[in-house]
């Protein structure tokens, strides 16, 4: 399958590392003009350099802004006035005892993981509808469906993203714009490595620690390993392409079979 996104501008939020960085690289390889986003000038500049090098594309720029705030969102949108492909990847996660999560932490997770996506969709979707083409992709998680006891506040936000995606897909009905969520399973990123170490300790070598984590905390996984960021990116690039024109309002799984269901 040949995917050609030439002439399309893609904004990937939270893309200085991990899954977002892999998605930015994949979209750039497919020919899109890619905008990397993060909160710091230096990290964004470095990410732009690595995406260019890894993708072979020079059509990669950066937009600095904290999308958990209205001011940061405005700064990013000023730098990227036209967006054809919006990938809401930004998110925070961590473990916490359920009864010890206070109101401020619940609000912080909602602001970063949900409202950041909603603000950008509100800003970008009208233009996509007017142009008759667009893609909105919200990065959800297996935790949206299988809520971990140690990550209730995180799982709640990812469940909300499934609803956000379905609702905005209805708003875009018949316009040529698709809106989908991607349910990512446990993925091998720097942030997840720290999370794994937090739960299983620092004594084991990484391969053994990863296995111990999957067996104890994610035993439903049929893959029985962490997913690589590029594997998530492959699905996002496909959903961003013209080939996925009939897929909208969906929750598409790249979860290694973690969610025990024959439906998405």
| Catalytic option among 154, 217, 238, 258 | 154
Residue bearing tokens 């602001």? 111
Are 89 and 13 spatial neighbours (Cβ–Cβ below 8 Å)? yes
Going from the C-alpha of 181 to that of each of 90, 128, 135, the distances in angstroms are: 13, 17, 11
- Helix, strand or coil, per DSSP, at residue 83: coil
Structure tokens at 5: 């996104």
Cα-Cα-Cα-Cα dihedral sign, residues 124, 129, 132, 134: positive
Q: Is 154 a catalytic residue?
A: yes
Phi, psi of 85 (to 5 degrees): -130, 115
Q: How many other β-carbons are positioned within 10 Å of the β-carbon of residue 211?
A: 16
Which residues are known catalytic residues? Answer: 154
């Amino acid at each position: 399958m040949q995917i050609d996104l030439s002439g399309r501008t893609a904004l990937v939020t939270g893309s200085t590392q991990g899954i977002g960085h892999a998605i930015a690289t994949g979209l750039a390889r497919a020919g899109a003009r890619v905008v990397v986003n993060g909160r710091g000038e230096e990290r964004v500049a470095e990410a732009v350099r690595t995406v260019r090098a890894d993708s072979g594309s020079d059509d990669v720029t950066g937009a600095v802004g904290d999308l958990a705030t209205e001011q940061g969102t405005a700064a990013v949108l000023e730098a990227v006035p036209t967006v054809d492909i919006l990938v809401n990847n930004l998110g925070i996660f961590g473990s916490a005892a359920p009864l010890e999560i206070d109101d401020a932490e619940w609000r912080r997770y909602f602001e970063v993981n949900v409202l950041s996506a909603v603000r950008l969709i509100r800003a970008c979707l009208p233009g996509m509808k007017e142009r008759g083409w667009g893609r909105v992709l919200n990065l959800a998680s297996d935790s949206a469906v299988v809520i971990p006891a140690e990550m209730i506040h995180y799982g709640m936000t990812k469940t909300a993203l499934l609803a956000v995606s379905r609702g905005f897909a209805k708003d875009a009905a018949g316009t040529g714009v698709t809106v989908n969520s991607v349910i990512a399973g446990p993925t091998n990123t720097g942030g997840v490595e720290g999370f794994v170490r937090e739960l299983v300790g620092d004594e084991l070598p990484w391969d053994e620690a990863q296995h111990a984590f999957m067996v104890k905390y994610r035993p439903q996984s049929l893959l029985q390993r962490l997913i690589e960021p590029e594997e998530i990116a492959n699905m996002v690039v496909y959903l961003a392409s013209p080939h996925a024109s009939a897929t909208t309002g969906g929750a598409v799984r790249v979860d290694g079979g973690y969610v025990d269901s024959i439906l998405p």
